[in-house]
Amino acid sequence: MSRVYNFSAGPAVLPEEVLKEAADEMLDYEGSGMSVMEMSHRSKVYDNIIKTAEQDLRDLMNIPDDYEVMFLQGGASTQFAMIPMNLMKNKVADYIVTGQWAKKAYQEACIYGDAKAVASSADKTFSYIPDCSDLPIRDNADYVYICENNTIYGTKFKKLPNTKGKTLVADVSSCFLSEPVDVTQYGLIYGGVQKNIGPAGVVIVIMRKDLITEDTLPGTPTMLKYKIHADAKSLYNTPPAYGIYICGKVFKWIKKMGGLEVMKQRNEEKAKVLYDFLDSSEMFHGTVVKEDRSLMNVPFVTGNEELDARFVKEADAAGFKNLKGHRTVGGMRASIYNAMPREGVEALVEFMRKFENK
Ligand SMILES: *Cc1c(COP(=O)(O)O)cnc(C)c1O
């Protein structure tokens, strides 16, 4: 067996320990005589899996009791619709557009009501986070929406926007559990788990309970009502059971590593190795404003498309996988999520150095 250094933006690298444990339990989960894939989601054994996963997530993020935790399906993209359908009471929402995912969420919200882009960094190909200290947030806005870490462009909000008292909704897909968060600053936090937590197919929603109501837009499908899932404790229908089980294992792994403070420190150290190199290299350059750099997704270029392509090809052959930048951006992107070991980043930098010298 040989494992590569996988810099994929998602689905992405998971902790080896977790994968091994899951493999060990594949045929017989804790004496049940069956795989978690094969068991009823209404069984006692599974009930324990999902409850433990929720509790561990609550512990890690310090989630207060007045917030609901939901394990849903449909990926992050389904939330682009579910959020306006459930939260647009006035049919007014303000969006901060810092990349493609934020833009898609904004465009989806336009289907349901009066969504407005109150700030954007599209003018400089999303290479920075706009100043959000005094935005023209509308008085009747139901919420203010951000994509906190921009997976494709490699920027991250280091400071949350001033929402002028409005509910903050955040897509944290690509920075989930990468550092401590103050959950109380948000009305709703959500993320697809395939970037930093588990297998694709699960989306986690953390939502303040007073926002979860029967009052949704007319025509909202039952499956897209938060209230249905909150009341049923994520078991309204068959949940993505196996995916949640793996998420639970990753929560345990993060706990064992020391929690989110330790994750943050590790991630900062790891990212610094790569950013320091990019800042000193004559060939490779980061594409993002320094203050807004993501700890998770690091895009870079040589400035020459042919050279970029050669680098990606040679890196791949040397065991550094999935470094090609997003199809809309080009260049390279190294996603260095929680489960990417520091040695992986160091080895990549060493490879880049050699490539440059050659
Ligand atoms: C990947 C990603 C999405 C889309 O996730 P899907 O689960 O494929 O719908 C949305 N937002 C962000 C920030 C992402 O990184």
- Whose C-alpha lies nearest to ligand 1, atom 3? 76
The β-bridge relationship of strands 92-97 and 144-147 is parallel
Q: What is the pLDDT of residue 88?
A: 98
Q: 32 CA distance to ligand 1 centroid (A)?
A: 34
Where does ligand 1 bind, in terms of residues with CB under 6 Å? 10, 75-77, 101, 147, 151, 171, 173-174, 192, 195
Q: 98 CA distance to ligand 1 centroid (A)?
A: 14
The β-bridge relationship of strands 155-156 and 168-171 is unpaired
The one-letter amino acid code at 216 reads T
Q: CB burial class (10 A; 0-12, 13-18, 19+) of residue 80?
A: buried
Q: Answer for the pair 169, 143: CB distance below 8 angstroms, yes or no.
A: yes
Domains parsed from the chain with CATH numbers:
17-257 (3.40.640.10), 259-357 (3.90.1150.10)
* 316 given a catalytic annotation: no
* 195 given a catalytic annotation: yes
Q: 208 CA distance to ligand 1 centroid (A)?
A: 22
| pTM, two decimal places | 0.98
Q: CB burial class (10 A; 0-12, 13-18, 19+) of residue 148?
A: buried
Q: What is the pLDDT of residue 342?
A: 97
Tokens, residue 192: 């697809």
CA–CA gap between residue 55 and residue 44 (Å, rounded): 16
The one-letter amino acid code at 3 reads R
What parts of the chain have a pLDDT lower than 70? Answer: 1
Residue 293: beta bridge partners? 155
- Whose C-alpha lies nearest to ligand 1, atom 7? 75
* 253 given a catalytic annotation: no
Eight-state DSSP code of residue 26: S
Q: What is the pLDDT of residue 330?
A: 87
CA–CA gap between residue 265 and residue 303 (Å, rounded): 31
Give φ, ψ of 32 to 5 degrees: -80, -15
Locate the ligand 1 atom nearest the alpha carbon of residue 194 and give its number. 7
Locate the ligand 1 atom nearest the alpha carbon of residue 75 and give its number. 7
Q: 84 CA distance to ligand 1 centroid (A)?
A: 17
Q: CB burial class (10 A; 0-12, 13-18, 19+) of residue 135?
A: middle
Tokens, residue 174: 């690509």
Q: What is the pLDDT of residue 196?
A: 96
- Whose C-alpha lies nearest to ligand 1, atom 11? 101
Shortest CA distance to 217 belongs to which of 57, 84, 349?
A: 84
Eight-state DSSP code of residue 211: G
